[in-house]
Amino acid sequence: MGFRKIKLEFFHIRKSFFVYRRGWRYLYNKYVFLPQLLRRDLKFDQTINRPDLSLHILTCHRDTAMTIVAVASYLRVAKVIGQIYFHNDGTLSKSDLALLKKFFPTALVVNTADFIRDYGPAVCRHATICDFRTRYDNFSFKKIVDPYFVSDKRFRLILDSDILWFKHPAEIEANILSDSPQSLMQNNGLPIYATFADGSRTTEQQAMMNAGIIFYDRRNFDLKRLEEFLQKLDLNHPRNLHFADQAGHAYCLNHLTALPAEKYVIKDRVSDRVVAKHYTGPRRVLFYIEGLEILKINGLFANKT
């Protein structure tokens, strides 16, 4: 573990003790419970019953355990199940890949380093998209570009690895089952604008979208709009690159609406009405001291074969 990661972890430990006052729970769940879980012979796969749906998660070595728990929690509450794709950012080790295969035997792993080699002819028919995906190793461009081209399914559900699921995602599945589905993203709670080279910026509606949860029908993903977004983006600001997946999806998806903020939360505590919570960086500690505790009570980690 490098110095920056050690420094960040000490920050999390201090926050768990002095802000949330559950430091021992954080340490136990992260450094005792999760390693024990990874050694168990569990299967979280569910039978695919919707062959026109794919589920995409971009992950890395650091987030392997988190990813396993996040996807397992989703599959526990979901009724409509599609093909799972894990997008390897290039840092997954052999043991990481073995763990993903152990818990999700039917999942497919896509190496993002091979993306242009494997999908280049289709991608590079769209010159700007191809240029950005080739030029930048940024996770945002992998997340917005790769699922569209990797999957041949009609529907795509893209999830972050730091989201835990507690109830049935009825709003998402209703759109999968709809003849005229809307595109969906999580509500961010506050606007995060992307700025353009001409001095303009994304609309307030677009800025309110969060990329933790993204659902779309392939027909609602406008490649020309995505190219327009990339051509306009002000590349002098790193923030625009970091949030490109968030702003880019909001810009290019047709028929887009936000999921109910009171059910798909970021800051709020997990109440009885909450379907999922996105444990973003500022709240990452709560993934272990709040989310995991609820999943234990709900029986996610009971022995299954």
pLDDT band with cut points at 50, 70 and 90 for residue 296: very high
Residues 31, 16: Cα–Cα separation, whole Å: 14
Q: Among the residues of the chain, which ranges form H helices?
A: 3-18, 23-28, 34-38, 64-77, 94-103, 115-123, 127-135, 139-150, 170-176, 204-207, 223-232, 238-242, 244-252, 284-286, 292-297
| Rama region for 155: left / alpha / beta (φ>0; ψ in -120 to 50; rest) | beta
Q: What is the number of H-type helices and E-type strands within the chain?
A: 15, 10
Give the pLDDT score at 193: 97
Q: Is the dihedral of CA 132, 280, 98, 106 positive or negative?
A: negative
Residues 250, 212: Cα–Cα separation, whole Å: 12
Give the pLDDT score at 210: 97
pLDDT band with cut points at 50, 70 and 90 for residue 303: low
Give the pLDDT score at 120: 92
pLDDT in tens, 16-70: 999 999 999 999 999 999 999 999 999 999 999 999 999 999 999 999 999 999 9
Domains for the chain: give ranges and CATH numbers.
Answer: 3-297 (3.90.550)
Q: Is the pLDDT of residue 253 over 60?
A: yes
Give the pLDDT score at 302: 82
Compute CA 210 distance to the chain's CA centroid, rounded to the nearest angstrom: 10
Residues 15, 176: Cα–Cα separation, whole Å: 39
pLDDT in tens, 72-129: 999 999 999 999 999 999 999 999 999 999 999 999 999 999 999 999 999 999 999 9
Give the pLDDT score at 75: 97
Arithmetic mean of pLDDT over the chain? 95
Give the pLDDT score at 183: 98
Give this prediction's pTM: 0.96
Residues 186, 189: Cα–Cα separation, whole Å: 9
pLDDT in tens, 224-250: 999 999 999 999 999 999 999 999 999
Give the pLDDT score at 2: 76
Which residues make beta-bridge pairs with 196?
233
Give the pLDDT score at 304: 54
pLDDT in tens, 149-199: 999 999 999 999 999 999 999 999 999 999 999 999 999 999 999 999 999
Q: Is the pLDDT of residue 1 over 70?
A: no
Give the pLDDT score at 305: 43
